[in-house]
A and B are shown apart, each in its own frame.
Chain A
Amino acid sequence: MSDALVRLNGVSKVFRGRGGAVTAVDDVDLEVRRGETVGLVGESGSGKSTVARLVMGLQPVSAGTVEFDGCPMTSIKGRQAASFRRRAQMIFQNPFGSLLPHFTAAANVAEPLRLHRVVDAAAGQVRARELLELVGLPPRSAELYPHQFSGGQQQRIAIARALALEPELLVCDEPTSALDVSVQAQILSLLERLKDELGLTMLFISHHLGVVEKLADTVAVMSRGRIVEQGPAEALFEQPRHPYTRQLLAAVLPVRGEPVPLPEDPWRPEDDDGVRMIEVGPGHRARIGAAEQPQAVR
């Protein structure tokens, strides 16, 4: 357990707006071990992107702690914060929006190196070109601006930028959901390749179970700010225990044949109020409470 790179303990995030308080993340426990890829799935508004932002320290937590490599994030300041920034990087959903529009591809990739004064400008340019090549972009693309690339190519640039500092943790917030299906597959296999080559630790967020299945070692399913089920990817996909997980799985449309019919009485988030997480298998936990435990798996 000590090899956890990131650990969330009872983390909550409450947004207070004009319409009242919204609990985006509710008492989440999550662990990302070194070298492991954790998939975080859930529908829009389930709080999964907020978890990503909390892990990255982009927003403060309302309750609980986020630990990075054993260090609670709330206490890191100044120089430590800078070193954390080098060790954790993020990829966003909208690649075009997250790239600097007035910087060339190479300048975008070299920017984190410049910010953290890792190398001088000339070496940064060389490194940027290497990274662009690593993510499968031709050398001539270095001097082009983000708007001159397709969405998939833009995401490749964003990935190259995130890798520039050789981070230990890569947080991917829906990196493929703004892309065409065929491009999605390319980006996913790129991430898969990089994960193997560079031994990346990833927190991979998606609303698409198929995408997560391809990459994740461990999966956590979120709904309404709560994790309803988490466990090894295989166990979770083979034997989903929580009704919401089953619903999500049923919602993945098969390429051929009839889709799995949705349950007639769909599960609602309120059904889980007061229900605790219980162990349902090795490393596999679900919020189904003791009462439902004997229920047979469909």
Chain B
Amino acid sequence: MTETDRIDPAERPGPPDSSEPAATAGAAQAQSQFRRAWTRFRRNKLALASLVILAALIVVAMIAPLIAPYGFEEPDYENTLAGPGTAGHLLGTDLLGRDLLSRLIYSLRTSFLVGFGAELAALLVAIVIGLMAGYRGGRAEQLLMAVTDVMFAFPTYLFAVLMVAVLGRSVGAVILAIAIASWVNMARLTRAQTLTLMQRDFVEAARAMGAPGVTIAVRYVLPNAVGPLLVAVSFGIPAAITAEAGLALLGLGVQPPTPSLGGMIQDGISYVTSYPNMLVWPAVMLAVVLLAFTWLGDGIRDAFDTTGTRR
């Protein structure tokens, strides 16, 4: 067994005179992988701006009832289909005179809930099964591979549609449907990461130390897979939001009158020629959210990539 071919050049420590301060330099600061990633991330202005925008939008979504001028199903029959700038309705109103700004704020809430909820649920399942499949192989791996094959044979959207048809159109049901449709890829990523990390010397060193398998998998391997998983999540959340929007266009999104970005777009499409602002606002908002997530994901990927974390 030759040792040399297992050493990834990226894992080699830099020479003592590299830009990274060596411990001998004196006042060296502790640098965890996250601190290093954050230092790199901060230099990426686009990603940083995306993070700020998303954080702001998330705050807006969380405090929606406080800042929305109206309720999301509060009609104003005197001002139906009002244009933007109408007194009291900054972005205008829809067919029933519901305030578009308020609906937009509430729909952000729904969309983030669906996006984060579905991705979090998928992540939890994916980590457990992916780790087991990667570390132990055996039954977890067989299960994962079998499910993966089924999922690949089946279009994801169709699957989500079927799930919604079965589970209903509550927010929880939509989250579940999207999570079930999307955990497989995340589990495969976790498995691949685990397999790669298992080749690293610290796994063998841990065995020599007498660490049990669970400890090695959860305490040593998993934390080193966090970077790539974080990237996958930051691309997965917008994918889930898009999935909900897609379901909404098919009339299978979150049950009205609860607004979601997809639901508002679907409402707006019917009036696109006469009252385009009903379509424009949610479409722009969706685009902003998706773009911000994409740039954020790129930023996270670059931040972790240069640290030598393999993807």
Q: Which residues of A contact B (CB under 8 A)?
A: 24, 44-45, 49-50, 53, 56, 58, 81-82, 85-86, 89-90, 92-94, 96-102, 104, 111-112, 115-116, 137-138, 140-141, 143-151, 153-154, 158, 161, 173-174, 178
Contacts and interface: CB of A to CB of B under 8 A. Distances in A.
Contacts of A116: 210
23 contacts: A24-B1, A53-B1, A58-B208, A86-B210, A89-B208, A92-B3, A94-B3, A94-B7, A96-B13, A97-B200, A97-B202, A102-B224, A115-B211, A138-B23, A140-B23, A145-B33, A147-B31, A148-B21, A148-B22, A150-B16, A154-B13, A158-B205, A178-B7
A84 B44 CA distance: 50
A141 B23 CA distance: 6
B204 interface: yes
B136 interface: no
B308 to A, nearest CB: 8
A281 B30 CA distance: 55
B273 interface: no
A151 B23 CA distance: 11
A100 B31 contact: no
Contacts of B200: 97
Contacts of A144: 23, 28, 30-31
Nearest to A44: B2
Contact of B207 (A58, A82, A102, A149): A58
B24 interface: yes
B210 A82 contact: yes
A145 B7 contact: no
4 nearest A-B residue pairs (beta carbon):
A85-B210, A97-B201, A98-B205, A90-B208
Interface in B196-225: 200-202, 204-211, 215, 220, 223-224
B30 A98 contact: no
A30 B187 CA distance: 46
B32 interface: yes
What class of interface size applies to chain B in its complex with A?
Answer: 35 or more
Interface in B202-254: 202, 204-211, 215, 220, 223-224
A77 to B, nearest CB: 13
Given A96-B13, A102-B224, 4 more contacts: A81-B210, A92-B201, A93-B3, A97-B202
Contacts of A96: 11-13
Contacts of A111: 209, 211
Contact of B204 (A98, A149, A178): A98
A44 B205 CA distance: 20
A214 B205 CA distance: 25
A216 to B, nearest CB: 20
A145 B30 contact: yes
Contacts of B33: 101-102, 145
Residue of A99, A116, A143, A144 ringed by the most chain B CB atoms within 10 A: A144
Contacts of A85: 208-210
B221 to A, nearest CB: 10
Interface of B: 1-4, 6-7, 11-14, 16, 20-24, 28, 30-33, 200-202, 204-211, 215, 220, 223-224, 308
Contacts of A56: 208
Contacts of B1: 24, 49-50, 53
Contact of A100 (B4, B20, B202): B202
A148 B23 contact: yes
Given A96-B11, A101-B224, A102-B223, A145 B32 contact: yes
A173 B206 CA distance: 15
B2 A143 contact: no
A92 B204 contact: yes
Given A99-B202, A147-B13, A148-B23, A104 B210 contact: no
B204 A145 contact: no
A147 B209 contact: no
Most buried by A among B24, B202, B211, B223: B202
A130 B204 CA distance: 25
Contacts of B20: 147-148
* A102, A104, A116, A174 — most chain B CB neighbours (10 Å): A102
A30 B177 CA distance: 61
Contacts of B205: 90, 92, 98-99, 158
A148 B28 contact: yes
Contacts of A45: 2
A153 B23 contact: yes
Q: Name the residue among A81, A97, A140, A144 with the largest chain B CB count within 10 angstroms.
A: A97
Nearest to B7: A94
Given A92-B204, A115-B215, A151 B30 contact: no
A153 B202 CA distance: 17
A145 B37 CA distance: 14
Contacts of B24: 150, 153
Q: Please indicate which of the listed interface residues A24, A85, A147, A178 has the most CB atoms of chain B within 10 Å of its own CB.
A: A147
Nearest to A48: B1
Contacts of A141: 23
Given A50-B1, A97-B6, A149 B209 contact: no
A149 B3 contact: no
Nearest to A96: B13
Contacts of B21: 148
A202 to B, nearest CB: 15
